[in-house]
Amino acid sequence: MELSTILRPECTTCATPGSKKKVLELISDIVAAQYPTLSSQAIFESLLAREKMGSTGIGNGIAIPHGRLPDIDHPIAVFVKCLEPIPFDSIDKQPVDILFALLVPADQCQQHLATLSAMAEKLSDKTILKQLRKSQDDAELYQVITQ
């Protein structure tokens, strides 16, 4: 799957959320702004429910929060670069500055896992990660992550 089919430029942002809760709220608000039929609160609760099962902070400053929503028929992604790293309970105990969030239809578990795996692999590329961290604005960030 091409990342550009699930990640809109409007869902890619550089921000300073300050905390794990705030970045999950930011992600929820971004999705709700782009998909008005979805509730920001329902999105937030889905992401938070997954985090309560265990942190999605995979190490090296990266987190991949994700959740399932019954009201969508295709995956929706959000990419956030935190201008200041935030505590995220990551497996390596390091703060997070790169987040790829994924929301999927409740019945698409296999596609969901494949997309998360592909993104984790992409973010493990040191060259891409360096370019993402050097990105100066939302447009550049989108270009780097979708290339």
Asked if 74 is an active-site residue, the reply is: no
Q: Which of 17, 28, 51, 66 is catalytic?
A: 66
Classified as helix, coil or strand, 132 is: helix
- C-alpha R_g of the chain: 14
Q: Looking at the DSSP assignment, which residues form a beta bridge with residue 115?
A: none
Copy the structure tokens of residue 131. 């370019």
C-alpha distance from residue 47 to each of 2, 23, 126 (Å): 23, 11, 27
Task: Give the catalytic positions in this structure.
Answer: 66
